[in-house]
Amino acid sequence: MPLLQVGTQSFCLLDLPVSTCSRTLRREGLHSRRPLPNSSRSLSDYQARPDLGLFIGMLVLVGFGTIMVYSSSAFYAWATSEFGSGFFFLKRHLIRLGVGLCAMVVVEKIDYRFWSRIAKPLLGVCMLLLVAVLIVGSGRSHGASRWLRISFVSVQPSELMKVCLVIFLASYVVSARENMKHFSRGLLPPLVVLGIITALVVKQPNFGTAVALLLIGFFMLYIGGSRVHHLVGAGIAGAVAVGLIAYGIPYAHRRIVGFMGAASGSLTGNYQLRQSLLGMGSGGLFGAGLGGSRAKLLFLPEPHTDFIFAVVAEELGFIGAIVLMGTFLFILVRGAQIALSSPDDFGMFLAAGLTISIFTYVLLHIAVVVGALPTTGLPLPFLSFGGSALFTNLVSVGILLNISKRRQKSKAPHYGRRCLR
């Protein structure tokens, strides 16, 4: 039975709890000194094919997402004169999905070690794009300018940044692993970079993405070996700073006040959350059926983007929502397995970061829809309408598939029960 060796213990990874995977990744980051795989080794030493489970899980999500984009947007597009057709969003989604899938296929062919060599220039380009958004950005939403118009294509640099940030931090924690326990020599440089990125995103303002990037960055630094009390202190400072800035911006202030009212039992000041909860509640156990949502009939704002999970829960019920979350959990487990079986440290950190970036957006989107967090406007990966988010998520899957191809056969995770000895 193929096992993964970590220190003196061996694991079969399919049924490892998420918390166990996180602790194992951290131990690997602290103690592993695995070199980059020797490119002269025979291809027979590595898995010849990418991870089939991850690929199938992704196809299930994008297929279901296409159905839900049409279901949640058709009436809105038909009833709004500027769109002209109920198929408006579906057509655009299919085009973006095609572009994203092509990008995934291309990225899957690129040796993942290539990204380590261009990590700093790639991050620099993404940061310049964030600056450009503040100067010549377009597509304003609730006072926020988040897109760059390049010819006939609109790009959201903050979405591209989540992949660039993971690549940069994965490269950094490998090169600086001897210093990660030291605040000034190891932790401070990436914190400064993360702070600049967060400030640029908050300036748009886009608080949801800023919070997501902070969570992804802190996770990467944690598994990279940084001391917990250093991260806690930096996290508290960052949260206070973002909160104070948000409180000073009118639309963000209204959302925070609405969230606080909802937390105290009043939904009077939070129209979006009220409609979201009403829709999910009416779905019951088995839902109203595909296309049967009432909330999307111009009651729930942004039903095809920021609140698509509410439409899923209303049309497919509690059972459908649980199945969807189970599919995302399956993607998380597959990503953790790829990370733990990667042939070198960079592959491990890169796979872990890309996986957690997808799952972070899942958790934040669902938390907003159910009222556990203020309304932030984050898409649900692979389901929500949105070109930049779909593109970056598919690119992330492409990189994960490439890493999975290069894991050593002796370290391939076992498709069975947990074996800890």
- Res. 37 pLDDT band, cuts 50 70 90: very low
Closest CA to 163 of 119, 224, 100: 119
Q: Quick one: DSSP state of residue 371?
A: T
51-60, 111-120, 159-168, 258-267: lowest mean pLDDT where? 258-267
3-state secondary structure of 240: helix
Phi, psi of 304 (to 5 degrees): -95, 0
Confidence bin at 410 (pLDDT 50/70/90): very low
Distance CA 177, CA 186 (A): 8
Query: What average pLDDT does range 393-419 have in this prediction?
Result: 71
Q: Which two tokens stand for residue 323?
A: 């199945």
Task: Examine the pLDDT at 359 and tell me if it is beyond 50.
Answer: yes
Terminus-to-terminus CA distance in the chain, angstroms?
13
User: Do strands 153-155 and 9-11 pair parallel, antiparallel, or not at all (unpaired)?
Assistant: unpaired
Out of 150-154, 258-262, 309-313, least confident range: 258-262
Is 70 exceeded by the pLDDT of residue 26?
Answer: no
Q: Which structure tokens are listed for 286?
A: 């088995």
What are the sequence ranges of the domains in the chain?
4-411
Tokens 């993971």, residue? 166
Two tokens, residue 334:
């597959």
Q: Are 223 and 29 in contact (CB under 8 A)?
A: yes
Is pLDDT above 90 for 69? yes
Task: At 143, give phi and psi (nearest 5°).
Answer: 80, 5
What is the C-alpha to C-alpha distance for residues 355 and 343, in angstroms, rounded to an integer? 17
Q: CA–CA distance from 212 to each of 68, 216, 375 (Å)? A: 24, 6, 13
- Listed in sequence order, the residues at least 6 apart from 4 whose beta carbon sits closer than 8 Å to its beta carbon are 10, 11, 12, 13, 340, 341, 411, 413
71-88 per-position pLDDT tens digit: 999 998 988 877 878 899
Neighbouring-strand partners of residue 175? none
Q: Tokens in use for 150?
A: 């390049």
Residue 209 to residue 376: CA distance in whole angstroms = 8
Identify the helix (H) or strand (E) that includes residue 197: helix 188-202
Q: Which pTM does this prediction carry?
A: 0.84
- Among 79-83, 183-187, 321-325, the range with the most confident prediction by mean pLDDT is 321-325
Taking Cα atoms as reference points, which of 117, 114, 110, 35 lies closest to residue 345? 35
Beta-bridge mates of residue 4? 11
What six digits make up the tokens of 276? 């979201």
Neighbour tally for 231: CB within 10 Å:
17
SS3 276: helix
* Residue 130 main-chain phi, psi, to 5 deg: -65, -40
Token code pair at residue 273: 């959350």
Residue 170 CB neighbours (<10 A)? 27
In this structure, what token pair is assigned to residue 362? 């899942």
Measured CA distances, 188 to 53, 74, 176, 369 (Å): 38, 48, 11, 35
Q: Count other Cβ atoms within 10 Å, centred on residue 344.
A: 20
What count of other Cβ atoms lies within 10 Å of the Cβ of residue 243?
13
Structure tokens belonging to residue 269: 């000041």
Distance, CA of 348 to CA of 91 (rounded, Å)? 37
Under a CB-based contact definition with an 8 Å cutoff, are residues 234 and 191 in contact? yes
Tens digit of pLDDT for each residue in 212-242?
Answer: 999 999 999 999 999 999 999 998 988 888 7
State whether residue 299 is helix, strand or coil: coil
Question: What is the rounded distance in angstroms from the CA atom of residue 373 to the CA atom of residue 263?
Answer: 9
Render pLDDT for 246-258 as a digit per residue (tens, 0 to 9).
676 666 666 666 6
